Homo-oligomer: A and B are copies of this chain.
């Protein structure tokens, strides 16, 4: 099996998450893809962060990024420091050294995308960045690859989990902006310096990247009109609700006659709008195109594991290319999902709760008859309804059950359906909570 070597620069929350994800699911990834991921080196300025990783697991542990960039064995550099400097130099040097790069750095890409992508193209290497927008949500790949045939004219959504969490707290608990921010900081959702989030600038960084890809537009952060949420008071959210609106920090990109609209600002949305239901740190993006119509992608917008999922997805993307296209026998990954045989659970072995509609002659003793068959089959009743009463005529009896064995249920229904007071086949519908 082809093995691909990775160097991780920056062992903060996401860097640690990527390390843990590859350790935890590396075998699974190999089975799914036929490629093995090996962490050859890690780099951090903080000695304590390095000390947490054993030499047995990772051969190179260093405080100098150059040690990884200049390591000929390393195929992919994963930059997870964040911020402009020194991340900018590290990515530029890595690309120039012929390394593929994966990053989650929206601020850097938003402000220096042209320099970095040009350097990547000149050196014929990948620069992948799915984790920079929307955490676990595959929005970059969807726009760039899946929806490539579309003329995309609208992209809008909730792109910052911190501000959405703060607004949710204000809406649910009537907390002030300052109180909600403090809760977010205590939970590790907002940083000690939360300005990048609450000013709307983080959302604007992300909107720049979506616009680059979706519209093919050469845009920069300065093109995005940006307003934050610090002026919002609980009464604004209450007033909005009174008129049937929710209040969200939206990032909006529209391609309309007269030019592109790129803006980030607090926005009232109709309460029935699907984005009104996005609470806490979740993110969601609507995309409209001339072929797809309207599509929505929803998921966790931030956090260790969700962000790591996208970073490792980007790593695997490159690793597959290195494994399947750069060897002597290039081969697309058609069969790479085919794995071992698995055990299929028979539906008869499941426990499921049920909606049952019996069609019965309305006469004394019928409900008792049905109930006793169910009881004998170990099916417990959650509720019963029998609306109409027309002695001697067919009426529906509706029963909701607790969890019951599928096999028992089938047999009980067959027994009941054979009773003379049953006039039609019983309708049974499963319930998912």
Contacts and interface: CB of A to CB of B under 8 A. Distances in A.
B385 A239 contact: yes
A432 B270 CA distance: 8
B29 A148 contact: yes
A284 B252 CA distance: 23
B430 A266 contact: yes
A161 to B, nearest CB: 12
Contacts of A223: 344
Contacts of A100: 332
Contact of A150 (B250, B309, B343, B432): B309
Interface stretch (A225-233, A372-380, A411-419): A225-233
A422 to B, nearest CB: 15
A290 B22 CA distance: 12
A335 to B, nearest CB: 4
A243 B399 CA distance: 11
Interface in A160-207: none
A41 interface: no
A147 interface: yes
Nearest to A348: B225
Contacts of A118: 335
Nearest to A292: B136
Given A293-B306, A295-B300, A337-B216, A145 B136 contact: no
Contact of A125 (B297, B332, B396): B332
Given A269-B432, A432-B268, A433-B270, A137 B218 contact: no
Given A219-B342, A267-B429, A355-B236, A334 B117 contact: yes
Contacts of A344: 219, 223, 259-260, 262
Given A124-B331, A124-B332, A267 B430 contact: yes
B316 A293 contact: no
A268 B431 contact: yes
Give the interface centre of A231, A239, A334 by most chain B CB atoms within 10 Å: A334
Contact of A260 (B147, B343, B396): B343
A233 to B, nearest CB: 7
Contact of A31 (B145, B216, B232, B335): B216
